[in-house]
Structure 1
Amino acid sequence: MKYSVNFEKMEQAIQYLNQQEIDLWLIVTSEGSDPCLNLVTGVKTVGPGAFVLTRTGEKLVLCSSIDAQDIEESGLFQEVIKYTTSLADPLKEVVRRFQPKKIALNYSEDEHLADGLTVGRFRWLKETLKGDFSGEFVSSQSFLSRLRSIKTDREVDTIYRAIRLTHEIYDSVISQLKVGLSEKQVGQLFVDEMERHHVVNGIDRALSMPIVLKERIAHRSPSDAVIEPGDLLIMDFSIDIDGYVSDIARTVYFLKEGEKEAPSHVNRAFTTIYEAITKAAEGLKPGVTGYQVDEIARAHLTTNGYPEITHATGHQIGRDVHDGGVLLGPKWARYGSSPYGQVEEGMVFTLEPTLFTDQGLQFIVEENVLVTQDGAEFLTERQKELILIPAI
């Protein structure tokens, strides 16, 4: 069924509404403006519309007549209320019908994926309902973040399919790597593979190049820099399958002529990264906070004489490569409250304790793991040793 995941997510949302004693969740949107729509409903409105879920299980949509067909055909909603001139009147009628004391709206100070209601729409909503609603508006962030974070079995299966194909593409690209290629040429190998498998990049949902870096480590597009013997090459790649993504990074070493293995300092750096991922995975279990997992990986690198990680150890993946919610990160102001969140069963994280040194060593090894009742389960095939590209 096309909308089976959306049905599951709406039932999950209703469960959370009951847990938090919220009477009604109201998603006001236009042109598919709210980022939660793909996750929750799978449909959108072009004109102004409102999606309504109640704690007693009702699922309604208010939309213009021209937007109604796809929504009705989805089979997700018990009632599709069509208007001709204005959303205001049918919205007021729905609020009067359910007489909610608490209405959840999608606004948030520090979680962009739960901040889909614009200031203008919020002002319009307050003005529209001022004579019909005397209760409390509350943020949906607390349950919407959980809704994104805690995956159903169908969601996990789809993420796993994306991961499997990402590995297949990596295998093909790595088999074609050689000295003399530019970052852009390696990036094009990924594009060719995506085109062959009829998938797109999970970052921008386009046939675009992933991150391919031999120098100037940053979130940037591949450059014309040419790979030379003795280089380390970072590749950070994601694909989208049916709206869910993978996120896997690999680092390879290009052997110099006469070398049979990488220099000892390169091997030691890789081993330290591998151990940091292992230790973080062992500490990732229901009930811990994000910053506690980050501290494990961060401490392992510094104890071994390497610099502190410059970003979070891991983030959630799902509908997006950075799927919000709990972050496996340090207690830095830039991360807001996300590192303080509690890990729960069903969350899917990356683990990527990266290493950048002043001597030019750079490693990103990124794995994807599922939080189970007993701990972390690797969904990726781990990079257990440094990938070596032979000299020609």
Structure 2
Amino acid sequence: MRQANTGAAILAGLALASVPASAHDSAPIAMSETEQPAPALPPILPPRERAALENRILAERLETLIPQIMRAEGIDLWLLVAREYFEEPVVATMLDAENMHARRRTILIFHDPGEGKPVERLTVSRYGLGGLFAPSWNPNEQPDQWQAVAEIIATRDPAKIAINTSDLYQFADGMTLSQHDRFMSALPAELHHRVVSGEGLAIRWLETRTPSEMELYPGIVRIAHAVIGEAFSRKVITPGVTTASQVQWWYRDRLLQLGLDPWFHPSVAIQRQGTEGMLEGDVVIRPGDLLWTDFGITYLRLNTDTQHLAYVLRSGETEAPAGLRVGLANSNRVQDFLTRAFKVGRSGNETLAIARADAIAAGLDPSIYTHPIGHHGHGAGPAIGFWDNQKADPRGEGPIRANTAWSIELTSYAAVPEWGGQRVDFRTEEDAFFDGTSVRYIDGRQTEITLIPSD
């Protein structure tokens, strides 16, 4: 397998022929701490160019990440199994753009022979996988697929055979009971004691972001910000007429137009003076309302997750009430306490405890429920709190690692004087990248409430 291109080369390799004419003169969007209000929508690649880019980045990930994580985890053979219509979460991220899903039974094997030699990438299945894995099964010679797997493993005599089983992390639990039993029945008995969990491999593969991915990520998040900017505008919302659910379904319609997918149904809700809690569904949006949205897309195999706030101006108003502006500023301060608490090797639980203690000492009322993001919206890696659990959780015991992306998701509560001291929920969520030293927002963060005119 020839050496995969670097991130810059991958992007350059698309060249003008691979990019829509409207994007020829577009510079890549860089990471920024400042979020543009209602930004322009970046160009979106057509399917063939998306596939080419996805495949090149996948090749780079396989070439560079797999040796790193296998050696870091001390594993010399990793076996992954997926079945048609029953996807394995790790395998799903390793298939090229033309092989969109597992077919029949797809088996992948990674073997590190040691001594600095390249890691073998084998597929024991009936179909090729875009040249990324070497076909290693001839059904005419060995009709039993599992016996073919056992022979490959026995020939290589690995010290540790990792399979994806995990009670705690769903991303690392892709080996089903039936496939486990078939595998163990075929594997020579003297190798059984070498079978271990591949939990660490699965998490590291999924959570790690490469330089090429991080060149693309700001543009992906910018798309999400641009769509939210449209949703929170008079283009979509007519105060006194439009309902919260109509805005939700506008998002879905807009993504269909753009050829993009949501990874969850968008949320839109209203907080209103004199009304407790969030109003949703067919409730009509009115002047004086504080709007909240939660919106995420999947594009180029990466996900976004964003929560923003907007205020519908009353007649004669030019800005949101001061109490609402202070409320968002409070949530920004909680973000700062949280991002400063990130440290390589520190657990999600420790990070949560430090950030909460600092925020509470500053007089804030926080709730933190931050999660990794990347190949999945709620991605692999340690959780940093849950909305329904602000204490230590087994899912937060894992370490924070460098080169990981995060949805900095949290809220703070504050009494708003202009609303008679009503307690208001200032939810915010912004995507960010931790390089091992500091956390940077991928496309900025909201620091000012979006304003929607009512006149």
| Fold shared by both chains (TM-score > 0.5) | yes
Per the TM alignment, residue 55 of structure 1 is displaced from its structure 2 partner at its CA by 1.5
* CA deviations over 1:340-359 (Å, ceiling 9, x no partner): 32222210011122135794
From 412, 426, 430, give the equivalent of 1:363: 426
Aligned amino acid, residue 135 of structure 2: E
Task: Indicate yes or no: 2:60 matched with 1:8.
Answer: yes
SS in 2 for 1:63: coil
Q: TM-score, normalised by structure 1?
A: 0.87
Aligned to 2:349: 291
Specify the alignment match of 1:34 in structure 2. Answer: 88
**What is the rounded CA distance, in whole Å, between the counterparts of 1:158 and 1:80 in structure 2?**
34
- Which stretch of the first structure deviates more once superposed, 350-359 or 241-250? 350-359
**Does structure 1 conserve the Cα–Cα contact (< 8 Å) formed by 2:294 and 2:308?**
yes
Alignment of 1:74-153 (within 5 A): 74-83=130-139, 85-131=143-189, 133-153=191-211
Indicate the residue corresponding to 2:373 in structure 1: 317
Residues 23 and 287 (structure 1), Cα distance of their counterparts in 2 relative to 1, 3 Å cut: closer
Asked whether the 8 Å contact 1:60–1:81 carries over to 2, the reply is no
Secondary structure of 2:378's aligned partner: coil
Match of 1:197 in 2: 258
Q: 1:282 to 1:306 in 2, by over 3 A?
A: closer
- CA drift of 1:247 comes to 1.0
**CA pair 41-384 structure 1, distance change in 2 beyond 3 A:** same
- Distance in 2, matches of 1:105 and 1:262, equals 54
Q: Is the 8 A contact 2:122 2:133 kept in 1?
A: yes
Q: 1:357–1:113: structure 2 CA closer, same or farther, 3 Å change rule?
A: farther
Q: Take 1:300 and 1:252, find their aligned partners in 2: how far apart are those partners?
A: 27
Give the RMSD, CA atoms, in angstroms: 2.7
Q: Specify the code of the residue in structure 2 equivalent to 1:61.
A: T
Secondary structure, aligned partner of 1:364: strand
Instruction: Give the TM-score, by structure 2 length.
Output: 0.75
Q: Give the gaps of 5 or more residues in structure 2.
A: 1-51, 114-118, 416-421
Q: Secondary structure at the match of 1:104?
A: strand
State the AA in 1 paired with 2:103. V
Cα distance between partner residues in 2 of 1:332 and 1:173: 31
How many equivalent residue pairs? 377
Alpha-carbon deviation of 1:50? 1.5
Change (3 A) 1:294 1:223: same
Q: Distance in 2 between matches of 1:7 and 1:334?
A: 40
Q: Is 1:243 the counterpart of 2:301 in the alignment?
A: yes
Larger RCO (CA within 8 A; separation ≥ 6): 2
Residue 272 of structure 1 contacts residue 304 of structure 1 at CA under 8 Å; is this kept in 2?
A: no
Partner of 1:206 in structure 2?
A: none
**1:252 to partner: Cα distance:** 1.1
Give CA deviations for 1:294-341 in whole Å, capped at 9, x if unaligned.
2344335544655441x52x1111111101212222795997433232
Report if aligned partners of 1:247, 1:366 keep a CA contact under 8 Å in 2. yes
Alignment partner, residue 179 of structure 1 = 239
**Residue 214 of structure 1: which of 270, 273, 290 is its match?**
270
**2:154–2:188: 8 Å Cα contact kept in structure 1?**
no
Q: Which amino acid aligns with 1:371?
A: F
How many Å apart are 1:160 and its aligned residue? Answer: 2.3
Q: What residue number does 2:292 align with?
A: 234
> What is the CA–CA distance in structure 1 between the aligned matches of 2:381 and 2:441, rounded to whole Å?
20
TM-superposed deviation, 1:188: 2.9
Corresponding residue of 2:49? none
